[in-house]
Amino acid sequence: MPEPAGALDGIRVLDLSRFIAGPLCAQILGDLGADVIKVERPGGEDARGLGPFLDGESLYVATYNRNKRAITVDTRHPDGVALLADLVTRCDVLVENYRPGTMAAMGLSHERLAELNPRLVVVSLSGFGQDGPMAGRALFDAIAQAMSGLMSRTGRAEDPPLPAGTFVADHLTGVYGALGAVTALHHRTSTGRGQVVDVASLDALFSCLGTTSVAAANGVAPAERTGSRDPLSGPANTFPTSDGWIYLHAGTDPLFPRLCEAMGRPSLADGTWRDVAGRMADIEAVEAEVSAWTRELSTDEVSALLDAQRIPFGPVLTVDEAAALPQLAARGMLVEGGHSVLGSITQLGMPAKLSDAPGTVRRGVPAVGEHTGEVLTELLGLDDAGVEKLRAAGAV
């Protein structure tokens, strides 16, 4: 049976982005069926030199660039910019994550793009957004974590602020970009007009702080950092076992007595610890009792006892242990995909599962400029001689 058409089948995306946020945004659209044309400078984007590496090939690039056709264009060459302008007229979405003002300097401002293609959806991803006093500044993921307040909330009160263990701002920005793109495409069906989707990493990450952001905006001071301890109820924390660590959440009033049963200490649920307020007022002592129990047992033994009492828990796994989880395998979160050099590599699956038009891996990770001739011939009607003339001029 042939694979079902993706939900975005028939949509063409011009991906002018690099690194994480933009490429991830475009890849999500590609996973959902869009034809994504990735544009790199001749020789390839800087990210192709970033690790980790597998047999000399960048897994950084492989993680964010499947389901794309790759072409090379010199955006500083007049003929290269003219090519991009022609491609814009044949695309539905353009994704870019240059610093604000760069596209305009290239001759492709938002206004010019709208003139070229009034139906075009432009997804502009940046550190601080397209306006505001900081719009012109560059930003890396850790800077968003620092300035959003997230870093000040991560770690223990006695330790320095810590960044998260991954590029959370970049990933969240890419997901918001993809959400904005499909929303703008839906809006276009009724209006016939495209629009600009402006996503800032700082905005995206600040929104991720949720109630903490809202509390601060209303003058409510946040509690001090508590490490992995839940600040609202307890016990809900990471606890040592005889062979590792486990996170458990028994902080609600119905859950705590069940934890006490699992511990063989039902009387702990009586007295001042019977409700959240009483436990939080004495949380160090509560956690000391739980730690004394967990550290005498293996992670598997604690897991079995917690599972029997229907208490939410999770062993603290390394990334390679997480990758081996049967649950992730059952959910299709690790899939085999093609690679222009390696042949086949294991890639991340699509988290959003659509029942009728699921995301698929149709194209592998392309080599630099692998589809330049194909795209210019198919979309712009150039013949081989025309493509070679552009190559000789250095435009592609």
Active site residues: 170
Count of CB atoms situated within 10 Å of the CB of 343: 8
Please give the Cα distance from 88 to 84 (Å, whole number): 6
Element (H, E) at 31: helix 21-31
Residue 209 sits at the vertex; the CA angle it makes with 203 and 211, to the nearest 5 degrees, is 120
Q: For residue 95, what is the DSSP state?
A: E
CA 183 to chain centre: 18
In terms of Cβ atoms closer than 10 Å to its own Cβ (0-12, 13-18, 19+), residue 204 is: buried
- Residue 46, CA distances (Å) to 17, 20, 41, 170 in order: 11, 12, 9, 17
* 3-class secondary-structure state, position 366: coil
What residue type is 280 in one-letter code?
M
Count of CB atoms situated within 10 Å of the CB of 241: 21
β-sheet bridge partners, residue 381: none
Q: For residue 247, what is the DSSP state?
A: E
Q: For residue 19, what is the DSSP state?
A: T
The alpha carbon dihedral of 303, 308, 309, 310 has a sign of positive
Count of CB atoms situated within 10 Å of the CB of 14: 24
Longest Cα–Cα distance of the chain, Å, equals 86
What residue type is 303 in one-letter code?
S
